[in-house]
């Protein structure tokens, strides 16, 4: 322990992505549930302009759902030693718990910063974070590992300008409905469901507001079923939770979008365990573990599937999934026998036993 008694945990939240306020909510939840007899919290906020400041431990402020990181003392890091400098004060920390969703937090960028600084941190490393954040490369890695993914077409900004007709022909070969998504955004930001090519231009323009790189996916028939993965300590293998299902009764949405997740949640039901035969549950859990290891994830991940009459297709993986007590990842572990506080302990323990750098 850096201060001789408690484990000092830097909780980093906020960030530059469109999920800034969601990250603040997550930080509020973790701060409210972490064992303060065992851990000392060092709150670090990243403002929407990318500047780092000393954060707050006021969970009421952070948990409003619209909170943003405001002005504060500047925070810097000494590379190699991993020392945080908050104003004139220097703080050594034992581990960093990044609670950042989306670009510049979940995509390998901040993980690379922690690696260069020599800091231990919760969650996946640089490659896994980057590969999973990019839906295009997630599909490539999973497909090469022999895991099922749905058909898609990649639309880059340059490609849409210079090869539009060719890309439209590729997209026409997919079966409608189609989902047009930013390749590197989270929380379903910028996603459109389209029924015809007439809607394609507007859908790509909407996705490009969040990321110039877009994927167009063929809609997959099936229910949305998820599985939470937790890394194994020591020589133990990673473990999979009971699967959970998102049941959406919101005809105005049509799919599990940002509004359904965080704003208009009245039509949302989370069913854990998902209603599916035991054999299919085990198949899903085994596939989720294979996906976790194929991408070289560490710590935690949520693997999302489409399930239809025994058939499973992987939709995506999240290396920093929603982490409020009401989010699917901790709820699936709660139903599998692990409380929210125990999950925090487990994740911090996994990070502490792992060295920074190549491993």
Q: How many domains does the chain have?
A: 3
Burial class (CB in 10 A: 0-12, 13-18, 19+), 345: middle
Whether residue 236 sits in one domain with residue 180: no
pLDDT tens column, 289-314: 999 999 999 999 999 999 998 999 99
* The model's pTM: 0.89
Whether residue 247 sits in one domain with residue 142: yes
Whether residue 260 sits in one domain with residue 134: yes
pLDDT tens column, 71-116: 999 999 998 888 999 988 999 999 999 999 888 999 999 999 999 9
pLDDT score, position 50: 95
Residues 6+ apart with CB under 8 A from 175: 218, 219
Whether residue 195 sits in one domain with residue 62: no
pLDDT score, position 253: 47
Residues 6+ apart with CB under 8 A from 7: 1, 38, 39, 40, 94, 95, 348, 352
* CATH number, domain containing residue 253: 3.30.470.20
Q: Which residue has the higher pLDDT, 1 or 327?
A: 327
Residue 340's pLDDT band (boundaries 50, 70, 90)?
A: very high
Residue 265's pLDDT band (boundaries 50, 70, 90)?
A: very low
| DSSP designation for 231 | P
Q: Per-residue pLDDT for 183 more than 90?
A: yes
136-150 mean pLDDT = 97
DSSP letters along 316-344, please?
EEESS---STTSHHHHHHHHTT--HHHHH
Whether residue 323 sits in one domain with residue 243: yes
DSSP letters along 134-190, please?
SHHHHHHHHHHTT--B--EEEE-HHHHHHSHHHHHHHHHTSPSSEEEEETT--TTTT
Give the length of the chain.
359
Q: Per-residue pLDDT for 162 more than 60?
A: yes
Residue 246's pLDDT band (boundaries 50, 70, 90)?
A: confident
Whether residue 95 sits in one domain with residue 228: no
* CATH number, domain containing residue 196: 3.30.1490.20
Name the residue among 32, 33, 43, 46 with its Cα closest to residue 100: 46
* CATH number, domain containing residue 36: 3.40.50.20
Q: Per-residue pLDDT for 250 more than 70?
A: no
Whether residue 174 sits in one domain with residue 112: no
121-131 mean pLDDT = 96
Whether residue 204 sits in one domain with residue 257: no
Q: Per-residue pLDDT for 33 more than 80?
A: yes
Whether residue 225 sits in one domain with residue 262: yes
Give the percent of the chain with pLDDT over 70. 92
pLDDT score, position 1: 62
Q: Which residue has the higher pLDDT, 202 or 188?
A: 202
Whether residue 331 sits in one domain with residue 231: yes
Whether residue 179 sits in one domain with residue 48: no
Domain assignment of residue 1, yes or no: no
Can you tell me the distance from the alpha carbon of 324 to that of 343, in angstroms, rounded to the nearest whole number?
12
Give the range of the structural domain holding residue 168, as residue numbers without chain letter.
Answer: 152-218
27-31 mean pLDDT = 96
Domain assignment of residue 142, yes or no: yes
Domain assignment of residue 358, yes or no: no
Domain assignment of residue 236, yes or no: yes
Whether residue 263 sits in one domain with residue 178: no
């Amino acid at each position: 322990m850096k201060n001789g008694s408690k484990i000092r945990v830097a909780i980093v939240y906020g960030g530059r992505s469109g999920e800034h306020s969601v990250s603040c909510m997550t930080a509020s939840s973790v701060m409210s549930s972490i064992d303060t007899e065992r851990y000392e919290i060092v709150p670090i906020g990243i403002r929407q302009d990318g500047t780092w400041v000393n954060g707050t431990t006021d969970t009421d402020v952070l948990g409003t759902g619209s909170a943003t990181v405001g002005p504060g003392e500047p925070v810097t890091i000494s590379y190699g030693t991993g020392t945080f400098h908050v104003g004139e004060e220097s703080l050594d920390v034992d581990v960093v718990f990044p609670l950042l969703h989306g670009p510049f937090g979940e995509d390998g960028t901040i993980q690379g910063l922690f690696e260069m600084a020599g800091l231990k941190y919760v969650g996946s490393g640089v490659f896994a974070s980057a590969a999973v954040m990019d839906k295009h490369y997630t599909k490539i890695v999973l497909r090469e590992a022999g895991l099922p993914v749905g058909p898609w077409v990649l639309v880059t900004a340059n490609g849409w300008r210079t090869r539009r007709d060719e890309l439209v022909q590729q997209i026409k070969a997919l079966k409608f409905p189609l989902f047009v998504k930013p390749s590197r955004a989270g929380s379903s930001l910028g996603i459109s469901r389209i029924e015809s090519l007439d809607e394609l231009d507007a859908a790509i323009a909407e996705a490009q507001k969040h990321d110039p790189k877009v994927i167009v996916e063929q809609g997959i028939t099936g229910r949305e079923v998820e599985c939470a993965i937790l890394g194994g300590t020591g020589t133990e293998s990673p473990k999979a939770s009971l699967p959970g299902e998102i049941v959406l009764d919101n005809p105005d949405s049509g799919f599990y979008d940002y509004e359904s997740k965080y704003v208009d949640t009245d039509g949302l039901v989370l069913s854990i365990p998902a209603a599916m035969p035991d054999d299919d549950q085990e198949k899903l859990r085994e596939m989720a573990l294979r996906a976790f290891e194929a991408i070289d994830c560490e710590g935690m991940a949520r693997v999302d599937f489409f399930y239809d009459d025994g058939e499973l297709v992987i939709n995506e993986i999240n290396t920093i999934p929603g982490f409020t007590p009401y989010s699917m990842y901790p709820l699936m572990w709660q139903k599998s026998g692990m409380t929210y506080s125990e999950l925090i302990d487990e994740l911090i323990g996994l990070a502490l036993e792992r060295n920074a750098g190549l491993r």
